């Protein structure tokens, strides 16, 4: 709460960088407060009992970022907010699956307690990096859930919003490929950090740039 109050004072100062952004774009201040709240949870090493708890965290640190971005990009339809929210969930949950090892090394466990219990995989198992069938089934369950949010995001985005959401679509494609790579390792995230190479990211960006150019050309006709 102290951090939030300090931030409110900071952005009220006319010379602060954020003040200029808020004046230029119709970004609700509540979005920034939610983002700060989510970051504060990390400082407190918050442990998530249920997926609903984790989803609330993901909304604060990722979906809200998407909502801020679409105010800057510009959008025409209310459904685009749904796109931003669900893409935020998808990206953050993908990060969580990728970073299971690095997070636990820093003392963080983001996988919900209820999910660990469901698949009979304990926090001690996680800290000891026990890669077994229970862990694989747990991660497979989480990955299916993440895919649902990618699907929800993509179906919420209207075709004529693709141009303004170009950067977001690239993020979607890169992180979806990351999820696929995690699945291809049979979820062995303990062995090494899984990532999408820079060259692959570049190819994905080029592909989406060309796709958008073709789409714009069709609209103009």
Contact by Cβ (8 Å): 123, 103: no
What pLDDT is stored for residue 221 in this prediction?
A: 55
- At the second CATH level, the architecture of 27-220 is Orthogonal Bundle (1.10)
Contact by Cβ (8 Å): 189, 101: yes
According to DSSP H, which parts of the chain are helical? Answer: 2-12, 17-24, 29-43, 51-58, 64-73, 79-98, 100-105, 113-118, 123-127, 133-156, 166-184, 198-220
What pLDDT is stored for residue 163 in this prediction?
A: 87
What pLDDT is stored for residue 43 in this prediction?
A: 85
Parse the chain into domains and list their residue ranges. Answer: 27-220
What pLDDT is stored for residue 20 in this prediction?
A: 72
**Tens digit of pLDDT at every position of the chain (221 positions):** 555 555 555 555 555 666 677 777 888 888 988 998 898 888 888 899 999 999 999 999 999 999 999 999 999 999 999 999 999 999 999 999 999 999 999 999 999 999 999 999 999 999 999 999 999 999 999 999 999 999 999 999 998 898 899 999 999 999 999 999 999 999 999 999 999 999 999 999 998 888 776 665 565 55
Look up the pTM and report it: 0.89
What pLDDT is stored for residue 14 in this prediction?
A: 53
How far is it, in rounded angstroms, from Cα 143 to Cα 137?
A: 10
Structure tokens at 144: 């299916």
Contact by Cβ (8 Å): 10, 16: yes
Render 96-134 in DSSP notation, one character per residue.
Answer: HHHTHHHHHHTT---S-HHHHHHTT--HHHHHTT--SHH
What pLDDT is stored for residue 26 in this prediction?
A: 81
Contact by Cβ (8 Å): 157, 165: yes
């Amino acid at each position: 709460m102290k951090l939030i109050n300090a931030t409110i004072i900071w952005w009220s100062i006319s010379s602060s960088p954020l003040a200029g952004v808020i004046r230029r774009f119709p970004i609700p201040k509540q979005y920034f407060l939610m983002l700060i709240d989510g970051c504060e949870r990390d400082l407190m090493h918050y442990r998530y009992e249920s997926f609903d708890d984790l989803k609330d965290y993901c909304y604060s640190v990722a979906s809200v970022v998407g909502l801020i971005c679409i105010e800057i990009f510009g959008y025409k339809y209310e459904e685009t907010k749904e796109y931003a929210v669900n893409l935020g969930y998808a990206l953050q949950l993908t990060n969580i699956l990728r970073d299971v090892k690095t997070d636990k090394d820093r003392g963080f466990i983001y996988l919900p307690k209820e999910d660990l219990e469901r698949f009979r995989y304990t926090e001690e198992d996680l800290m000891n990096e026990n890669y077994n069938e229970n862990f694989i089934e747990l991660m497979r369950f989480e990955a299916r859930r993440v895919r649902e949010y990618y699907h929800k995001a993509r179906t919420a985005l209207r075709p004529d919003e693709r141009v303004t959401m170009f950067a977001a679509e690239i993020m979607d494609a890169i992180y979806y490929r990351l999820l696929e790579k995690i699945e291809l390792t049979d979820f062995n995230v303990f062995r090494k950090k899984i990532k999408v190479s820079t060259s692959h990211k570049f190819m994905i960006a080029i592909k989406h740039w060309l796709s958008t150019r073709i789409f714009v050309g069709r609209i103009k006709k």
